[in-house]
Amino acid sequence: MKKYFIALMVMSGFVGAQSQVRLPAVFSDHMVLQQNSEVALWGWAGSGEKIAVVGSWESRDTFKTKALNTTRWSLKIKTPAAGGPFTITILGKMERTIKDVMIGEVWICSGQSNMEWNVNNGTADAKEEMPKANFPNIRLFQVNRSAEATPQVHGEGQWQLCTPETMKGFSAVGYFFGKKLHNDLKVSIGLINVSWGGTPAEVWTPSEKIEADSELKTSAMQLKQSEGWPSTPGVVYNSMIRPLVPFGIAGAIWYQGEANTVAPATYQKLMKTMIESWRTDFGRDFPFYYVQIAPFNYSRPFEGALVREQQSRMISIPNTGMVIISDVVDNVKDIHPKFKKPVGDRLANYALAETYKRPLLGYQSPLYKSMKVEKGKARISFEYGQIGLISHGGDPTQFMIAGDDKKFFPALAKIEGETVVVFAKEVKVPVAVRFCWDNTSIPNLFNKEGLPVSCFRTDEWELDMNPIEDKK
């Protein structure tokens, strides 16, 4: 093989001046490339320098290009089915080899602190998992925190094998997601953790997209300013996402929204803008699976519920899916739920069913679909409720019902097949129903696979958002 490379260099006229081929940080030893794809490879060399790339999985295929006068070069290489380890050799005026390359499935793990949260931060289930986290075919790439006013190209970070030591500083949600995919798919998994606690979604979205939309621009102006994390649109995208573009990925998982409770009304639109921007940059409409934010004691009534409502509406964005985790919250005064394994597992189940077409049932939490009034009672139907509903500890709780006077009363609820019937003696003609419609309610209503029903309201009436202390 070495003789083949030398001969190729001589025939191509590559031997000569000492020019060093340079690569973005994401192209390094121990990396994972997306299987069965044409994946992008790029870097920098001398102006006009000829570049050839050879993957050891198929030495007869040589991919060639030439550096532009800006010194940047790029090309696409074909990858086989999952396997490895391989090498990738880049031949210019000097040779550069990337070693221990696996071919498998690559996922971006992004968002704010609940995605970033790791064993070092304190978890209820990941800490005991750590001693068992020896998975050499799960590869972890940690993108360092960075925020810049202009797009960056090289990026920071390095690929590492998953060990108890590397796992403890990596996203716990990302780890459990990747572990389940690895165990079920029997392929190598590459996880790119690109998250930053406290960040609103605006900083992950190209700034020009925010500036071009008056609603998004107005909402961005309401973001809280802090020295602890950036809030200027686009700055984290510029330095943490942009250097990865257009690396070949299978999809992305996302856990964020807490920082956007200050202006929840535009969250769906903002996320649609961000997702579409990322998909354009990466060159494919990859799947995007996300976590609905958990119950938490926010300062204003309904602000958490409003973001959850916006997240429920996000499923209208093609090739997206939402997991709900309201049942695994141990303390509504802690914005960081300590149990991360259920979150990662539910995201992985969604990916296994939707992306990898595994025959799973009940991986989607039931979502409100419609309300029908029948003899003084409201019958609620659900999307994804086909396998049936159950409630823990008695009949379903946390329901409220109102008539046309808009006064809500605690309601009784009964499960009937795939529906829930809601009623209260104070309301003779129901007009609206709400379920877990506040910041902290934890539901006892589930599908038969054990996934909680999402909070919802059937009305769009104006809400009193004044803090409770302002009403005293």
Domain layout of the chain by residue ranges? 2-100, 103-354, 368-457
Torsion over CA: 199, 263, 318, 243 (sign) = negative
**pLDDT of the residue at 14:** 39
Q: Which residues pair with 72 in a beta bridge?
A: 44
Q: How confident is the model at residue 469 (pLDDT cuts 50, 70, 90)?
A: low
Give 387-425 pLDDT, tens digit per residue: 999 999 999 999 999 999 999 999 999 999 999 999 999
* Segment among 121-130, 237-246, 365-374 with least mean pLDDT: 121-130
Asked if pLDDT for residue 110 goes beyond 60, the answer is yes
Q: How confident is the model at residue 59 (pLDDT cuts 50, 70, 90)?
A: low
Give 261-292 pLDDT, tens digit per residue: 999 999 999 999 999 999 999 999 999 999 99
Q: What is the mean pLDDT of the chain?
A: 93
Token digits of residue 268: 């769906």
- Contact of 119 with 169, CB cutoff 8 Å: yes
Token digits of residue 204: 């992950």
Nearest to 271 by CA among 283, 181, 64, 259: 259
3-state DSSP percent of the chain in helix, strand and coil, to 5 = 25, 30, 45
Give 185-222 pLDDT, tens digit per residue: 999 999 999 999 999 999 999 999 999 999 999 999 99
Q: Which CATH architecture has domain 2-100?
A: Sandwich (2.60)
Q: In angstroms, rounded to a whole number, what is the distance separating the alpha carbons of residues 174 and 108?
A: 9
**pLDDT of the residue at 7:** 36
Nearest to 16 by CA among 74, 126, 91: 91
- Contact of 445 with 394, CB cutoff 8 Å: no
Q: Which residues of 350-361 are buried (b: 16+ CB within 10 A; e: fewer)?
A: bbbbbbbeeeee
Give 28-40 pLDDT, tens digit per residue: 999 999 999 999 9
Q: How many CA atoms lie within 13 A of 104 on its CB side?
A: 30
* Segment among 93-97, 135-139, 274-278, 323-327 with least mean pLDDT: 93-97
CATH top-level class of 103-354: alpha beta
Whole-number percent of the chain with pLDDT over 70: 94
Q: In angstroms, rounded to a whole number, what is the distance separating the alpha carbons of residues 408 and 151?
A: 50
Nearest to 115 by CA among 25, 188, 29, 201: 201
Residue 58's alpha-carbon distances to 27, 42, 62, 177, 278, in angstroms, are 19, 19, 9, 31, 31
Q: In angstroms, rounded to a whole number, what is the distance separating the alpha carbons of residues 394 and 381?
A: 20
Token digits of residue 63: 């991919």
Q: In angstroms, rounded to a whole number, what is the distance separating the alpha carbons of residues 139 and 218?
A: 40
Segment 165-181 mean pLDDT: 97
- Reduced to 3 states (helix: H, G, I; strand: E, B; else coil), residue 317 is coil
Q: How confident is the model at residue 470 (pLDDT cuts 50, 70, 90)?
A: very low
